[in-house]
Amino acid sequence: MAGGSVSECKEYLFKVLVIGELGVGKTSIIKRYVHQLFSQHYRATIGVDFALKVINWDSKTLVRLQLWDIAGQERFGNMTRVYYKEAVGAFVVFDVTRGSTFEAVSKWKHDLDSKVKLANGSPIPSVLLANKCDQKKESFNSKVLMDSFCKETGFLGWFETSAKDNINVDEAAHFLVDNILANDKGLPYEESNGDRIKLDQETVAAESKPGCC
Amino acid sequence: MAAEDLPSEFDVVILGTGLAESVAAAAFSRVGQRVLHVDRRSYYAANWASFTFNGLLNWIQQYHVNELQDWSSLLEDGEEVIYLSNPDTASIKNLQVFCFTSEEDEKEEEASSSTPTNAAEDHNINADEEAVKESSETESAGNTVTNLLVAIDCIISEHSILYNPCNSPENVPDTARVSKTGSYFYLRLMYSRGSLVDLLIKSNVSRYAEFKNVTRILTYRQGKVEQVPCSRADVFASRQLSVVEKRKLMRFLTSCMEETEEQMAYHGRPYSEFLRDQQLGDNLEHFILHSIAMVTEHTLTEEGLASTRNFLQCLGRYGNTPFLFPVYGLGEIPQCFCRMCAVFGGIYCLRHSVSCLLVDKDTNRCKAVIDSRGQRISCSHFVVEEGYVGPERKRVATPPRFISRAVLITDSSVLSSNSDQQVSLVTIPPIAAGCAAVRMVELSSSTMTCMPGTYLVHLTCQSSGSAYEDLSPLVSRIFCTPDSPDQGNTQNCPSVLWCLYFNITDGSGLETEGHDLPSNVYMCSGPDGGLSHENAIKQAEAIFSKILPDEDFCPPAPNPEDIIYDGDATASAEGEDKEGEDKEGEKENQDKLEEAVLTEETVQTATATSTLPSG
């Protein structure tokens, strides 16, 4: 909170899902975006719930972005509700060199929309990533086709990305966060969750609580 | 999502996603075992599941016939087959649904004239063989199912319109976040110092869940619902207790925390006798016996005292009562453990079952399983939910024990107070000799299990007859239904909008030893009638330590912020944020991304700043 007056700085925590078929580069994109790293060696994602990126959005806004990778269950699309719960945005990733991963995109999008919604009932903002564009083949869909595909399936937009060559990863994230922030400002949530309990914090003993008068 | 084949070899194959199986799955996966976790159902958490209202209706309709397929062609020499069965048909019976629309709702409804008013429809699906005898009845019931479901849809739609203007009536969505009517099979809470809470904290699985404190404990006595004072604050605030009673109760609660010679003298005698001799008076005796110790007239003193102490020790850890309830319902908890298992590499398939086990005749060990698609999968160990195992192979208590359950949606609380967001546990002593004590939990919309303005009520007791026989007399006394004895007097009672009765196998009926199963096959029971989860956690831990006696059970998972992101090498240099790191650098980076640990506090702050209500 160095810059600007403390009272005006807003902090946001956003949970963003990264979904798509096996091996399309979900983990690479997260790693590129969060850690500025790329490794040729793909590894299944073990032991990681999410990666955290802290963005100084502007002088008054700090955004903590949790990027949730899907875990060992990914091949079969059976994520628990824990995974979807309270997500406010999503990337759906496919691999431009493998047509089958694009065909699965609408399935993933449909699954996403059926499992999580914003407080007002509308689908969470999602962005389509055409990953591995550094290896792009000519057969890849035209821009016009992609635009109309996004419109039909309800994506905000799409980006050709390469985690390897660091193409468009930051831009795509910026685009999504921008949309999430717009949603957030427009929609007051229905309930405050202030009295929910997390078990890792020892709360005040009941005896000292008010409410006994 | 692609329909690929599964890997053909695992260390542990687990069938069923109930609590014990899910805890075991997380424990195995966490220490590096290769885990395959499947469930034949389309949802997680088996008989511990929470449903949206639509999900519940689907569940009511789903009584599959179990088709046996012949997989003997996949057998190798020296192997024999054990077929597995459908868990739902074995564990649930006497399912009955009633749907009431009250006058009040009629006023609110405008166009939906098709809704039957004041009509109680009931259908009876018997999952067990006894149903065959009543085939005529079942058939006629079949006809009403369609009508009934239409009626239920109307009710829900009305409420969507009333309370949730942005939902279109046809489209009650699946996510509990919007369509909040949830349900779970067992009335169950978590003791704030119970083994489940301890395990959640120890393993860091707690990060996946949020809880509500049960805000008050009530009891039903002489036809009235009263609040039970259980903490010091409650005792002082209580209006029902006289000053003398307050002093007596405080003295008793303080004194019973320590073992005294006086208590020892009562060992082997009923707790009720001990209480009577404390000269506490009827009020206090009732509160302590039924609501604090939650035991019966016949429970022995030592047991009663232990329950009382347990209750008191749990008090105040998180709030005014000893109990917690998971936001979105209990079905979240097994899923939290499944997520942990998946994060550590466990593979999940729903709508996928194991048809049979292949057993080596000589060693009596299960060498492999055949899944529902006919794939042979080798495993070193097999863990299975009790319901999948045929009755001829397991040893259970005789006669089989069942639990009677009722799930109600009501329009107001059984005891109104200044807050409409109370979460209440109601203890109800037997209403007549020979009846069982009933426990009731009333959930408000703050638990994300029901729509604002409605309450979700669960009742449970040990079965003596069908769930309807056991519980409906009580329901019609406490709530206003068409069956209520005196319509004039029930004006102030909450109205029941919808209710469901069913019986379910009592998990505590499963013996721990003596089953006719291969030596590397382990069985987990479903939920039992108790209020806590001790049994399921114990089972999972026992199975784990039998298979891996030297490994730690559910050690803490690292925080996502502390994780080494890539595992190519093993260097562990502590790094600052490495902005300009060369992408070709194959060396390991331990990116400590964020110094500050993301605590719940910061989450709360973030939510609070972004959700200032507009009024």
Structural domain spans, chain B:
9-88+328-398+508-547, 232-314
Q: Which fold has domain B232-314?
A: Guanine Nucleotide Dissociation Inhibitor; domain 1 (1.10.405)
Minimal CA separation from A31 to chain B, in Å: 8
* Band of pLDDT at residue B76, cut at 50, 70 and 90: confident
For the record, the structure tokens of B237 come out as 């605030």
CB B1 within 8 A of CB A21: yes
Report residue A12 as tokens: 């946001």
Q: Which residues of B touch A46 (CB under 8 A)?
A: 343-345, 567
Q: Contact B155/B163 with Cβ under 8 angstroms? A: no
pLDDT at position B47 is 82
Residue contact A199–B206, C-beta within 8 A: yes
CB–CB of B4/A75 below 8 Å?
yes
DSSP B276-297: HHTT--HHHHHIIIIIIS---T
pLDDT above 80 for A135: yes
Query: Does the beta-carbon distance from B347 to A73 stay under 8 Å?
Result: yes
Where is average pLDDT lowest: A184-188, B162-166, B219-223, B391-395? B162-166
pLDDT confidence of A80, banded at 50, 70, 90? confident
From the CB of residue A98, how many other CB atoms can be counted at a distance below 10 Å?
15
B553-602 pLDDT tens trace: 999 888 776 654 444 433 333 333 333 333 333 333 333 222 222 223 33
> Chain A partners of B250 at a C-beta cutoff of 8 Å?
none
Quick check: A64 contacting B, CB < 8 Å?
yes
On average, the pLDDT of chain B sits at: 74
Which residue of B208, B237, B583 is in closest CB contact with A212?
B237
pLDDT of residue A7: 56
A47, B207: Cβ pair inside 8 Å?
Answer: no
Share of chain B above pLDDT 70, in %: 73
Residue of B nearest to A71 (CA): B343
What six digits make up the tokens of B30? 């966490």
Half-sphere exposure of B554 (CA within 13 A, CB side): 29
CA distances A152 to A115, A147, B186, Å, are 19, 9, 43
- Whether ipTM > 0.95 holds is no
* HEC secondary structure over B117-142: CCCCCCEEECCCHHHHHHHHHHHHHH
Is A192–B563 a contact, with Cβ atoms under 8 angstroms apart?
A: no
Name the most confidently modeled range: B35-39, B48-52, B55-59. Answer: B35-39
* The predicted structure's pLDDT at residue A120: 79
Q: Which of A176-180, B178-182, B500-504, B505-509 has the highest mean pLDDT?
A: A176-180
Q: Is residue A35 less than 8 Å (CB to CB) from chain B?
A: yes
**The pair of three-digit structure tokens given for residue B71, joined into one six-digit string:** 């997989």
Give, as one character, the DSSP assignment of residue A184: H
More reliable by pLDDT, B386 or B126:
B386
- Ordered domains of chain A (ranges, CATH): 10-185 (3.40.50.300)
**Predicted confidence (pLDDT) per residue in B98-137, tens digit:** 877 544 443 333 333 333 333 333 333 333 333 323 322 3
Residue whose tokens read 């059926």: A114
Picking from B604, B610, B612, B614 by the largest number of A CB atoms within 10 A of its own CB, the best residue to mutate is B610
In chain A, which among 134-163 make CB contacts under 8 A with chain B?
A: none
Q: According to the model, what pLDDT value does residue B600 have?
A: 31
Report pLDDT for B34. Answer: 95
Residue B85 confidence (pLDDT): 78
**Residue B596 confidence (pLDDT):** 27
Q: Which residues of B touch A86 (CB under 8 A)?
A: 177
Tell me the C-alpha distance between B542 and B525, whole Å. Answer: 13
Domain at B9-88+328-398+508-547: CATH architecture? 3-Layer(bba) Sandwich (3.50)
Residue B343 to residue A72, Cβ atoms within 8 A: yes
- Hey, which of A171-180, B401-410, B437-446, B497-506 has the most confident mean pLDDT? A171-180
Angle ∠(A146,A150,A151) on CA atoms, nearest 5:
120
Arithmetic mean of pLDDT over chain A: 79
- pLDDT at residue B338 in the model: 93
pLDDT computed for residue B69 by the predictor = 66
B231-to-A197, A198, B282, B416 alpha-carbon distances in Å: 19, 22, 19, 20
Q: Which residues contact B233 (CB under 8 A, 6 or more apart)?
A: A206, A207, A209, A211, A212, B320
Strand stretches in A21-165, DSSP E = 50-58, 61-69, 89-95, 126-131, 157-160
Residue A43 forms contact with B (CB below 8 Å): yes
Query: What does the pLDDT average to over B529-545?
Result: 88
CB contact under 8 A, B210 and A71: no
B166–A12 CB contact, under 8 Å? no
Q: Is the dihedral of CA A57, A61, A62, A65 positive or negative?
A: negative
Could you identify the residue written with the tokens 């479903």?
Answer: B526
Closest residue of B to A183, CA-based? B610
Q: Does B174 touch chain A (CB under 8 A)?
A: yes
In terms of C-beta density within 10 A (0-12 exposed, 13-18 middle, 19 or more buried), how is residue A156 classed? middle
Is the pLDDT assigned to residue B11 strictly greater than 90?
yes
State how far residue A54 is from chain B, nearest Cα, in angstroms. Answer: 8
**Chain B residues within an 8 Å CB radius of A203:** 317-319
In whole angstroms, give the CA distance from residue B168 to residue B160.
8
Q: Is the preceding omega at residue B399 within 30 degrees of 0, hence cis?
A: yes
Burial (CB count within 10 angstroms: exposed 0-12, middle 13-18, buried 19+), residue A97: middle
In this model, does residue A60 exceed pLDDT 90? Answer: no
Instruction: Classify B204 in phi/psi space as left (phi over 0), alpha (psi -120 to 50) or beta.
Output: left
User: Rounded to whole angstroms, how far apart are CA atoms A25 and A93?
Assistant: 7
For residue A188, what pLDDT is reported?
Answer: 43
CB contact residues (below 8 A), chain A span 66-105, against chain B: 66, 71-73, 75-86, 100, 104
Beta sheet of B211-213, edge-to-edge order: B190-191, B323-326, B211-213
Query: Distance between CA B408 and CA B456 in Å, rounded?
Result: 6
Q: Do B348 and A188 touch (CB under 8 A)?
A: no
A194-208, B93-107, B544-558: range with highest mean pLDDT: B544-558
Q: In percent, how much of chain B has pLDDT > 90?
A: 30
Cβ within 8 Å, pair B316-A206? yes
Cβ-contact B535, B124 below 8 angstroms: no
pLDDT exceeds cutoff 60 at B169? no
- Rounded to two decimals, the pTM is 0.79
Return left, alpha or beta for B136; rule: phi > 0 is left, psi -120 to 50 is alpha, else beta.
Answer: alpha
Topology agreement, domain B9-88+328-398+508-547 and domain B232-314:
no
pLDDT digits (tens, 9 = 90+) for B319-356: 788 888 888 888 889 999 999 998 888 999 888 889 99
The whole-number pLDDT of residue A5 equals 47
